[in-house]
Amino acid sequence: MIQAPGFLRYVEFSVPDGAAAARYPFALPLVSQLLRLGRLDLDPGVTFLVGDNGSGKSTLIEALATAAGFNAEGGSRNFRFATRASESDLGDHLLLCWNRRPRNGYFLRAESFYNVATEIERLDDDGTLLQSYGGHSPHERSHGQSFLDLATHRFGPNSLFVLDEPEAALSVQGCLALIVRMSELRSQGCQFVIATHSPILLALPGARILQIEADGSIERVGYDQAEPVALTRAFVGNPDRILRPLLADEP
């Protein structure tokens, strides 16, 4: 039997009752737009979410991860720790439409991976858990090395991965290494949903790029039209032209 590609086909959104609709996160322009549209289609392989700071992409990624059963601070579905409950309740208003359920998966949240690393050490009472992370505690590796260890050793075939700004700890070489690993995992039946600012990661061939605008509208764009790519290209091509008006008032 041929399996349907990907795990998540789309995400549906339900409108909260009463006053909740006027508060965070439902008041975010992105969430308001998604509530109006009703659903968000995902690529069976790799979907990137891009947008400026505050656009709501990380809020959406977090909600998708919790709706899929992942711990809000990150990790696999088996992680159930909480350092500080700060997640929104958007995940309670998502309905995930599955082609099939993944056997495995992981939620990588760059800002709270330190907490995940601490939980890994706490759970590893016999040394076996660390083998899934390359045999080292993430606390004993650099931030970037620990991210790549995770992708290399913990990520495996036929899994769903939800990543929030994985480039935060990575060098250019690290981003390229992650692209190679993602491409390999995609060919092994994995699906990724990723919030990112990285023009390097966005270059992964065949990925779907969904761009979030200031008004909350979201549209599929090509690589060259993606804002991180266009702005980085403009800056690298002529940094003085970009910086001169920004620094005009500097002494």
In this structure, is residue 25 part of a structural domain? yes
Which pLDDT score is estimated for 111?
73
User: Which CATH number goes with the domain that contains 79?
Assistant: 3.40.50
- Which parts of 46-142 fold into alpha helices (H)? 57-67, 113-123
User: Which phi and psi (to 5°) does residue 50 adopt?
Assistant: -125, 150
Q: Tens digits of per-residue pLDDT, 196-237?
A: 999 999 999 999 999 999 999 999 999 999 999 999 999 999
pTM above 0.75, yes or no: yes
In this structure, is residue 3 part of a structural domain? no
User: Which phi and psi (to 5°) does residue 182 adopt?
Assistant: -65, -40
In this structure, is residue 249 part of a structural domain? no
Contacts of 223 (CB under 8 A, 6+ apart): 202, 203, 209, 229
Plot region of 245 (φ>0 → left; ψ -120 to 50 → alpha; else → beta): alpha
Q: Tens digits of per-residue pLDDT, 64-108?
A: 999 999 988 888 787 766 666 666 789 888 999 999 999 899 898
Residue whose pair of structure tokens reads 């959406």 in the numeric block: 60
For the purposes of burial, counting CB atoms within 10 Å of the CB of 51, is it exposed (0-12), middle (13-18) or buried (19 or more)?
buried
How crowded is residue 168: how many other Cβ atoms within 10 Å of its Cβ?
A: 17
Cα 157 from chain centroid (whole Å): 18
Domains contained in the chain, number: 1
Residue range of the domain that includes 138: 8-244
* Average pLDDT of span 179-185: 97
Which pLDDT score is estimated for 126?
67
Contacts of 150 (CB under 8 A, 6+ apart): 106, 108, 133, 138
Higher pLDDT, 153 or 125: 153
